[in-house]
Amino acid sequence: MAVRTITTLGAPILRQVAQPVDLTTVASPTFQNLLHDMVETMIAAQGIGLAAPQINVSLQVAIINGQAGPYAIINPRLQKSSRQTELAEEGCLSIPDVFGTVRRPARVTVTYDDEQGRPQSTAATGLLARVMQHEIDHLNGVLFIDKVQQITQGQLP
Ligand SMILES: [Zn+2]
């Protein structure tokens, strides 16, 4: 296991749609190592979420640092989003030292496969809903600065 280098703004992979994960590969040591490395990298960087393109891997997988600890969301899909929105401050490990307010749906339902390839569904609100949307955006090549209303700290390069 290893802490991997986090890609930063300007890296083309951050703007690409990541490849779907083939669920027959989820149990493989290579894929499980990837998940472990993503967890280690996220914790070392003190993040609350990390998407695979942020460590230069084009796969539809992200780690969410939930209340019960980190877990993987594989091939996540936003199934439902509330009409009600919330404005809150976000940052991104790939855009260091820049923070800004982003308006997002307050409640979302996300379906995904877990680290054993089993289908899951989560209804999320608050910070969890925000982190999930931020990470799913990464898997589609979208960054929070694309949606930012106001930069509150730092400066875009
Ligand atoms: Zn991010």
pLDDT digits 0-9 by tens, 90-118: 999 999 999 999 999 999 999 999 999 99
C-alpha to C-alpha distance for 120 and 114, rounded to whole angstroms = 7
The amino acid that residue 6 corresponds to is: I
Whole-structure pTM value: 0.97
Domain that holds residue 99: 12-153
Say whether 135 is catalytic.
Answer: yes
Residue 118 CA, ligand 1 centroid: distance in Å:
25
DSSP 59: B
Residue 116 CA, ligand 1 centroid: distance in Å:
24
C-alpha to C-alpha distance for 129 and 64, rounded to whole angstroms = 11
20-46 pLDDT per residue, tens: 999 999 999 999 999 999 999 999 999
Residue 93 CA, ligand 1 centroid: distance in Å:
6
Q: Say if 6 falls within a structural domain.
A: no
Q: Say if 58 falls within a structural domain.
A: yes
Per the CB < 8 A criterion, the answer to whether 54 and 139 are in contact is: no
Q: Which residues contact 53 (CB under 8 A, 6 or more apart)?
A: 7, 13, 14, 16, 18, 138, 139, 141
Q: Say if 3 falls within a structural domain.
A: no
